[in-house]
Amino acid sequence: MKESKIMLIQYITGIFILVLGALHFLAISALAPTSDKVLYQYANNSTSTHTLTGGTLYYTTVTTIYHTLFWGSIFELLLTFLVFHIFNGFRIILSEQFPGDRSEKAITYIMLVAGLIIFIWGSKTVVTMLLGGGL
Amino acid sequence: MELMLKGFGEVVKTVTLRVRRYDPEKKELPKYMEYKVPVQRGMTVLDGILYIKEHIDPSLAARYSCRMGICGSCAMIINNRERLACQTQILDLGKDLIKVDPMGNYDLVKDLVPDLTKLFRNHESIKPYIIRQEEKVTGEFLQLPEERELYSMFTECIMCGACLSACPTMATDELYLGPQALAQSFRYIADSRDIGFNERLNLLDSKHGVWRCHFAGACSDVCPKGIDPALAIQLLKGMLAKNVFVKYQQKPAKIGPDRKSILETAQS
Amino acid sequence: MVEVLDYDLVIIGSGLAGLRAAIEAAKTGQGKLRIAIIAKNQLMRAHSISAEGGSAAVLYEEEGDSFDLHAYDTIKGSDYLADQDVIEFFVRQCPVDIMELEHWGLPWARREDGRIAQRAFGGHSFNRATYASDRTGFFEVHALYDTLLKYGNVDKFHEQFAVDFLIDNNRFRGVVAIDIATGEIRIFKAKAGIIATGGLGRLYGYTTYSHLVTGDGLAIALRRGLEMKDLEFVQFHPTGLVPSGILITEGVRGDGGILKNAQGERFMERYAPKKKDLAPRDIVSRSIMTEILNGKGFKGPNGLDYVLLDFSPIGAEKIKEKLSQVREIGIHYVGIDPVESPLPIRPAAHYTMGGINVNVLGNTGVDGLWAAGEAACVSTHGANRLGANSTSECVVFGKVAGGEAAKWLLKNNNGVSLLEGDRKHAESIVAEVNNQNGDNDPYEIKRRLWDIMDKDAYVFRNEAGLTDGLKAVRELKKMSKSIIIKERGNVYNQNLIAAFEMRNVVELAEVVITGALERKESRGSHFRTDYPNRDDVNYLKHTIARREGDKILISYLPVKLTKWKPEPRVY
Amino acid sequence: MAIENKKGWIFWFNPLKYSSDKWLYALHRLTGIALGLYLMAHVFETSRILDGPITWNSTMVFLDWPFGVHFGPYILSGILLAATFHALNGLRLTITESGLLMPKPYRIEYPYKAKSLRGWNMVLKILLGIFMIIISIFGIVYIFTGVIL
Ligand SMILES: Cc1cc2nc3c(=O)[nH]c(=O)nc-3n(C[C@H](O)[C@H](O)[C@H](O)COP(=O)(O)OP(=O)(O)OC[C@H]3O[C@@H](n4cnc5c(N)ncnc54)[C@H](O)[C@@H]3O)c2cc1C
Ligand code: HEM
Ligand code: SF4
Ligand code: F3S
Ligand code: FES
């Protein structure tokens, strides 16, 4: 693909990430399906008073989010855009660091494969959860 | 009125020039050497270097020619910033120790002399000439002053190469076309006489073309002629991005009034 | 080791003349010729880049300009020493070249309706200096360099220092050069050559020339027995910036700037009542020096007394638009913004009217060797060049020489071969300078030469000064044969180059002074206080200098007059 | 013969001698890399939810108290800062690099000031700074206290 098209996608994915990422952050804060907005009250000692049931990052809360189609699709979209944006970004940085036809080809392929792995792995989580996984 | 040139022609103070030396024949790594130079008002760093060459250490090598900031020979890194040596007043630097390095991002030939092959090659590769069907010269192409303004700032590039030395992308990517060549391609594309956008497109849009600029702005910041290569590159990117959707059209300038009477007498 | 490179045509020098010749040769040769262009600095950095003001050409006949007028101005400016047939050819070619440059992308300044704009220049009776800001030469060099890149069959060699031409039996065979970057000796073997190495400005210390203009091409030609024409005519530009000598273009006065002495008086009104500040350069220079010698100048550093160039009639907006470089120069080099206050100026060595004697087609008389540009003397400028005529001359005659050489090559394709001794000869030429075991410092000799020339061969000359000068220069010439080169490396050995350059300027200085001594009259830029009048009876002729052994032989050549008879020269 | 004299990536961090845009260039890269690495970790981390509450909770505990130190909120704040910067600067770059809000080529005048680095670009840079401050205050307060201001 022509570099100009790649970069256009880079910019567009960037903007989408901005929107979706903001939503993502909202999902665990203002819009969280729980009245307890405490993010981090996990404790590694027994003196903790928390029940592990009410906070935004608690298992039940997170699974609830994952189970809604709306949030599930948002995460999947975000993941898609991020993977492209990031691995293309890495490709740019690396090919500027190691310029040359052969090295760049290698970098492009490595980035493609790595991107695919992350994408499949992340999608697996999202899709399984959407299909009612977890619990 | 007589005070106008006060301090010219008399030694005001002595400064130390700390120059990075490298001699490929000596099999040593580059090292710094210090030279004490008496300074008069009006003395430039280039004058300082010439003083060293003539009076202290003749083996110091540097490029220079016009000594008026137009030939572009003498760009070097003075106090950590790319400048033209012949245009930098020693006293204006306001320091008693002046560090002089050769430009980076080029191979180093000797001392302050970089190998600018890369710069010239990149410049040549973007086809820096008017591209259009050869026509018989019967008069000038008409170009309004406003049209001229659209590219004329980039014609002032003296090919000193300072921008390539300052560009952080160039610092790692030696295949990058570099701000100088990209600004020149914009200069020709924006010239109303040229219709070569499509001929240059492939190179500009290649893996080491315009998109390797991430707008660090260092090129525009150091350019000793005040050219704004960063601007040219961003405008180019805009053109290329639009070109993905709507093909970019260049309308060639028209030929002006026929000047046969003066042009044809010449042929005889 | 000596490397030999084989070409059809080698062009020495990449100024306006060299570049234009290369383009023309590449075009005429239609890809059939192998062409090399070499220069001692990087190709696009030739000294022509410093030219500021403009290039003369008749463009607007309908507005009152004409070829005859341009020719007449030039001839009158030359003090009738120029060859008039050459000038008639020259003025007709100028517009063609201006237009060609326009087609090649040169950003000429424009009128409101999109046509090319022109400005006033000294000695011209019509505003015919075509300009682009105040960097005309710069834009011309870059337009030509860029256009040259279009032609694939021209090999470009940066930083090759020519030290000798191979000429035997009046046949050119090639150039010996040092590749500065490696110190290697190279022979550019070629069937034809074009000398475009520029003038001899660095004979003087206070000069508008770049550091690298040391007349190498002229000196080599002189050593090889070529004839030098009119070398004693050195132009002094009225407005060199004190103390560096950097040029402040005549365009300043063309656009309205005026000269003032220490009393604030516009003194040019007295010397040239009609043209005032826009009189030809020799007259303005002499006027300035007269003011200074009469104590009406300012005391300057290192004895460089000066007068002022006042920009205020031009207006800030126009200065910033049309004279931006000059403004920058003022700020950078003397800390004065000309928008606010005047600049200190004084006449500085600026142009070499003379050069290698060539005919109107640029041929030097040696088979296969042409010369063009400032290095050559076709004699368009006679005893004094008009501003803006030189860049035009360089392109016009560069083109002629390039075309002629290519045509000649296409016709005469019998090759040249290296002779047995050539490699040895090349090595010995370099060794001759490199292996001297004297103790004279080349830089010291150069500085002493500058002092002599700035004093004795400046605007005003006289018998006593010139005789003294000649003696001193001969002394230096002797010294230049036993020098010490302190740096012994090969890579970028500028010391060795400086020694060659020093030898060249010293040898040329002798010719300049000898010619000046022999010309017992005042004409154009050559002014003898002991013979203050022009003498058309005895000296309406070109000086031809030739070297035989160690002697300079002077002879004379008649001037070609066509329509214009010598008249008194008043402005 | 001639030696290589590349400045290398370390030159991204030449202090104070060039315009602010060069700093933003370096920061954009660094935050891009950091965020990229974070995403990989994040994908791994979230995948633990498939393994049930025990694994999830112990992962969360580890992330909140890595090696027994309560460092989690700091890491998360760092990510937030990086993301805000990268996102906002990314927006600025998207605009400027598309030639939008860039000045037309202009006549150069001494003393030189590159207009591409000033004008609207400067406005965007200042806005970037302001938004950075606001967003990070809100975010960090939330991360540490759970309070949404
Ligand atoms: C400051 C200044 C301003 C001027 N302004 C104007 C103006 O406004 N209008 C106008 O008409 N004229 C002007 N002139 C005059 C005009 O610029 C010159 O006469 C003209 O440019 C000379 O061009 P050239 O091609 O003959 O030589 P140059 O441009 O001098 O080129 C000489 C070339 O020869 C090469 N060379 C020299 N020696 C060697 C060697 N030993 N080996 C290899 N290469 C060598 C050099 O590298 C260079 O490339 C000005 C001159 C000066 C000094
Ligand atoms: C939130 C909105 C985002 C926007 C608007 C955005 C925008 C951009 C833009 C415009 C670029 C190209 C820079 C250039 O080439 O000049 C870029 C590069 C990059 N981005 Fe983003 N981005 C965003 C989020 C992210 C995130 C969340 C990550 C990582 C998790 C990321 C990782 C990268 C990387 C690695 C690069 C390459 C850096 C470089 O080329 O210098 N981006 N981003
Ligand atoms: S753009 Fe400026 S810095 Fe770059 S080569 Fe041209 S004049 Fe030099
Ligand atoms: S410094 Fe380099 S990254 Fe772009 S804006 Fe200039 S070319
Ligand atoms: S010597 Fe020509 S630009 Fe400095």
In this model, does residue A17 exceed pLDDT 90?
Answer: yes
Which domains does chain A possess?
A: 3-130 (1.20.1300)
Question: B88 in contact with A at a CB cutoff of 8 Å?
Answer: no
Verify C-D touch: 3 or more CB pairs within 8 A: yes
Q: Which ligand is nearest to the CA of C371?
A: 1
Longest Cα–Cα distance in chain B:
66
Confidence (pLDDT) at A52? 54
From the candidates B163, B215, B233, which should be mutated to test the interface with D, based on the most D CB atoms within 10 A?
Answer: B215
Quick one: tokens of D32? 């891009």
C81 three-state secondary structure: coil
Q: Is D109's CB within 8 Å of C331's CB?
A: no
Q: How much of chain B, in percent, has pLDDT values that exceed 70?
A: 98
B66-123 pLDDT, tens digit per residue, is: 999 999 999 999 999 999 999 999 999 999 999 999 999 999 999 999 999 999 999 9
User: Is residue D9, in this structure, part of any structural domain at all?
Assistant: no
B122 CB near ligand 3 (under 6 Å): no
Q: Which residue of D has its CA nearest to B151?
A: D105
**Rounded Cα distance, C333 and C329, in Å:** 6
Instruction: Find chain B residues with C-beta within 8 A of C115's C-beta.
Output: 140, 142, 256-257
Does residue D126 lie within any of the structural domains?
yes
Residue D5 covered by a domain: no
- Please identify among residues 112-151 of chain B the ones whose CB lies closer than 8 Å to any CB of chain C: 113, 115-116, 120, 123-124, 127-130, 135, 137, 139-145, 147-148, 151
Among C316, B188, B212, B206, smallest CA distance to D105 is for B188
Counting one residue from C and one from D, how many pairs have CB atoms under 8 Å apart?
Answer: 10
C285 pocket-lining for ligand 1 (C-beta < 6 Å)? no
DSSP label of D1: -
User: Which two tokens mark C74?
Assistant: 């030039």
CA nearest ligand 1 atom 37, residue: C197
pLDDT digits (tens, 9 = 90+) for B25-62: 988 889 999 999 999 999 999 999 999 999 999 999 99
Question: pLDDT by residue for chain C (571 residues), tens digit each?
Answer: 799 999 999 999 999 999 999 999 999 998 899 999 999 999 999 999 999 999 999 999 999 999 999 999 999 999 999 999 999 999 999 999 999 999 999 999 999 999 999 999 989 999 999 999 899 999 999 999 999 999 988 999 999 999 999 998 999 999 999 999 999 999 999 999 999 999 998 999 999 999 999 999 999 999 999 999 999 999 999 999 998 999 999 999 999 999 999 999 999 999 999 998 999 999 999 999 999 999 999 998 888 999 999 999 999 999 998 999 999 999 999 999 999 999 999 999 999 999 999 999 999 999 999 999 999 999 999 999 999 999 999 999 999 999 999 999 999 877 777 777 889 999 999 998 888 888 899 999 999 999 999 999 999 999 999 999 999 999 999 999 999 998 888 999 999 999 999 999 999 999 999 999 999 999 999 999 999 999 999 999 999 999 998 899 999 999 999 999 999 998 8
Give the list of residues 6+ apart from residue B172 with CB closer than 8 angstroms, or none.
Answer: A96, A97, A99, D6, D8, D9
Closest-CA residue of D relative to C328 is D110
Question: Would the CB atoms of D147 and A15 count as touching at under 8 Å?
Answer: no
Give the residue carrying structure tokens 């041929």. C363
- pLDDT (0 to 100) of residue C262: 92
Give the model confidence (pLDDT) of B3-18 as tens digits: 578 888 889 999 999 9
From chain B residues 156-175, the ones with a CB under 8 A of any chain C CB are 156-159
Q: Domains in chain C, start-ordered, CATH in brackets? A: 242-348 (3.90.700.10), 423-541 (1.20.58.100)
What is the ipTM, given to two decimal places? 0.94
C212 CA distance to ligand 5 centroid (A)?
A: 11
A50: confidence class by pLDDT, cuts 50, 70, 90: very low
Give the closest-approach CA distance of A100 to chain D in angstroms: 15
Q: Which chains touch A (3 or more CB pairs under 8 A)?
A: B, D
Contact A125, D43 (CB under 8 A): yes
Give the residue range(s) of CATH 3.10.20.30 domains in chain B.
11-114
User: Residue A109 pairs with which residues in a beta bridge?
Assistant: none
Residue C321 near residue C331, CB atoms below 8 Å: no
The pLDDT score that the predictor gives to residue A53 is 54
Residue D74 covered by a domain: yes
User: Catalytic site residues of C?
Assistant: 237, 253
Q: Which atom of ligand 3 is nearest to the CA of B164?
A: 4
Rounded to a whole number of angstroms, the CA Rg of chain A reads 19
D46 and A97: CB-CB below 8 Å? Answer: no
In angstroms, the CA A70 to CA D33 distance is 29
B117-245: CATH class? mainly alpha
The closest CB to that of A99, out of B208, B209, B240, belongs to B208
Between C451 and D3, the higher pLDDT residue = C451
Task: Tell me the backbone φ, ψ of residue B48, rounded to 5 degrees.
Answer: -60, -45
pLDDT at residue number D60: 84
Asked if C181 and C322 touch (Cβ cutoff 8 Å), the reply is no
Residues β-bridged to residue C528: C461, C531
Q: For D64, which of A14, A40, A52 is closest by C-beta distance? A: A40
**pLDDT for the residue numbered D66:** 82
Give me the domain span that covers residue D47. Answer: 17-100+113-145
Structure token digits, residue B235: 């405008």
Q: Tens digits of per-residue pLDDT, A82-132?
A: 999 999 999 999 999 999 999 999 999 999 999 999 999 999 999 999 998
pLDDT of residue D46: 92
Beta bridge partners of C228: C356, C545
Angle (CA) B78-B79-B80 rounded to 5° is: 90
Q: List the strands of the sheet with C376-377, edge to edge.
A: C376-377, C355-357, C228-229, C541-548, C551-558
Q: Which ligand is nearest to the CA of D32?
A: 2
DSSP string, C406-421: HHHHHH--------TT
Residue B217 region, left (φ>0) first, then alpha (ψ -120 to 50), else beta?
left
DSSP of chain A, one letter per residue? --HHHHHHHHHHHHHHHHHHHHHHHHHTTTT-SSS--------SSTT----SSSSTTSHHHHHHHHHSHHHHHHHHHHHHHHHHHHHHHHHHHHHHHS-SHHHHHHHHHHHHHHHHHHHHHHHHHHHHHHTT---
Helix (H, G, I), strand (E, B) or coil at C127: coil
Cα–Cα distance between C72 and C95 in angstroms, integer?
17
Q: Does domain B11-114 have CATH number 3.10.20.30?
A: yes
pLDDT at D15: 66
Work out the pLDDT band at A40, boundaries 50, 70, 90. Answer: low
Whether residue D10 is contained in a domain is answered as no
Cβ-Cβ contacts under 8 Å for C476 (sequence gap 6 or more) = C445, C448, C449, C452, C506, C509
The total domain count for chain D is 1
Contacts across the A-D interface (CB distance below 8 Å): 104
C-alpha atoms less than 13 angstroms from C-alpha of C385 in its C-beta half-sphere: 31
Q: What is the CATH number of the domain that holds D88?
A: 1.20.1300.10
Does any CB of chain A come closer than 8 Å to the CB of residue D58? no
Nearest chain A residue (CA) to D56: A59
Average pLDDT over residues D3-31: 90
Q: How far apart are CA C106 and CA C115, in angstroms?
A: 13
Q: How far apart are CA C33 and CA C11, in angstroms?
A: 13
Q: Is the pLDDT of residue A44 over 60?
A: no
Contact criterion met (CB below 8 Å) for C203 and C501: no
